[in-house]
Structure 1
């Protein structure tokens, strides 16, 4: 069962995404801010991280940079989830180290496809 760390400060988004992902057979861990996300990634070694970019304490860009800079977490795929859908936001997420990007509100079928693609990449490397 793939382990996904969901780093999301919005309670409704956390609840909706975690329930739907669990129904699809994923084990979901939850962090409510970027610093907690970094800490949990180190201690739980998830297969994938869904990272909101606008987070309290430590934003998603900074959390992603920290995770990608650390040898023990650098290979964990990170999928940015953001309401930022302006020109250049995708590039900003990629520059921070995100492996993929999806916009909010979440279109679950599209997100699931991206998750499966990233989990497949990790399994083959």
Structure 2
């Protein structure tokens, strides 16, 4: 079973994303802070990571930088989620090292499809 790490401080969003991923056959690890997310990424080496940009300690940009700075986790695909989509955010998120991003609110019926689209159809580690 493919494992996914979801780093999200909003428990409702975490529950919805986790439910949708499990329904699609993924195992889900979760973290509610950036520091916890970086630690869990290094421990469980997930197939991909979903990271909220606005976290209570370090933001999603710093989480992504730290994950990219470690050899063992540097190639793990990361998709950012944000509720503050403004002009230039997409470029900042991609430049920070994310493979894609999408905006909140989250639709549990389409979220997995959006995540896989953000990662690209050719990414073999995301196969269900």
TM over 0.5: yes
The equivalent residue for 1:95 is 95
Q: CA RMSD in A?
A: 1.8
Cα distance change on mapping 1:121 and 1:73 into 2, 3 Å: same
- Work out whether 1:121 is the aligned partner of 2:127: no
- 8 A contact 2:20–2:109 mirrored in 1: no
Query: Which ranges of 4 or more aligned residues in structure 1 deviate by more than 4 Å?
Result: none
Give the TM-score taking structure 1 as reference length. 0.90
Structure 2: segments with no counterpart, 5+ residues: none
Query: In the aligned structure 2, how far is the partner of 1:49 from the partner of 1:93?
Result: 14
**Helix, strand or coil at the partner of 2:72:** coil
Deviation at 1:33, TM superposition (A): 0.5
Q: For this pair of structures, how many residues does the alignment match?
A: 124
Cα distance change on mapping 1:41 and 1:94 into 2, 3 Å: same
Higher relative contact order (CA 8 A, sep 6+): 2
The equivalent residue for 1:24 is 24
The equivalent residue for 1:106 is 106
Return the structure number with greater helix share: 1
Query: In the aligned structure 2, how far is the partner of 1:123 from the partner of 1:16?
Result: 22
Give the TM-score taking structure 2 as reference length. 0.88
